[in-house]
Amino acid sequence: MGRAIDLFVTYRFVKLLTTPFEKTDAFKMGIIDKDGFRTKKILYKQTEQNAYTVLHKLVFNIKRIFAKVPGLRTRLGTYAAALFLLKDTFKEHVEDPDMFEKGLMEYLKQQGVEFDDTIVEEVTLDNGKLSKGIYVLTQDVVTTEAENEIDALEGDEVEVFEDSPPEDTILGVDVFGVVHKKTKQKIYVSSEDIKELDIGDLL
């Protein structure tokens, strides 16, 4: 049974990745726009809620990240935080949480994307830990707060209250829990999603 569930979830994951936004039920119902961003429509009907689940939201985020990639070369670390959310959200429902990484890798290969496995970190880790302090997001970060879209945006500040080890390592990139200062919500970022706050960011 566990294997069958894994195959089903993997199938849905890959199908959502390969389906253009404009061909999804979420778009046809006015829940997302043509670029995969959430509209202000309130989901009253069960059919609408089924068309925009947490899985949809997280996969749509990966698709938006992919759309920003110039050319056909991408850093794997770009997807680390989004994949961590998928693994963390569905870890109780699947036997092999790593299937999301495998599914994404297969999808990118099918798209003819070349992988750049260079890890570009703009923060300095101390013995593998993210140091206490304030950081700035270098790209948009999605959350699993389905009702209140509190997605953190590039340029937003996040805070770490104590030196913290990574929650997980995805595609060779460390993922950390931080607090989004605007919403006071905990979000997850990779070491490539943040940079250290400098004077220029305050101007």
Residues 36-45: pLDDT tens digits?
988 989 999 9
Number of domains in the chain: 2
Q: Are the CB atoms for 94 and 4 separated by under 8 Å?
A: no
Answer with the one of 52, 84, 116 that is the final residue of a domain.
116
- The parts of the chain modelled with pLDDT lower than 70 are 1-7, 69-74, 76, 115-122, 124, 144-150, 199-203
Contacts of 184 (CB under 8 A, 6+ apart): none
The pLDDT assigned to 54 comes to 85
The whole domain housing 48 covers 2-116
The pLDDT assigned to 110 comes to 81
Q: What is the pTM of this model?
A: 0.77
Both 100 and 13 in one domain: the answer is yes
Q: Which residues pair with 114 in a beta bridge?
A: 73
The pLDDT assigned to 153 comes to 85
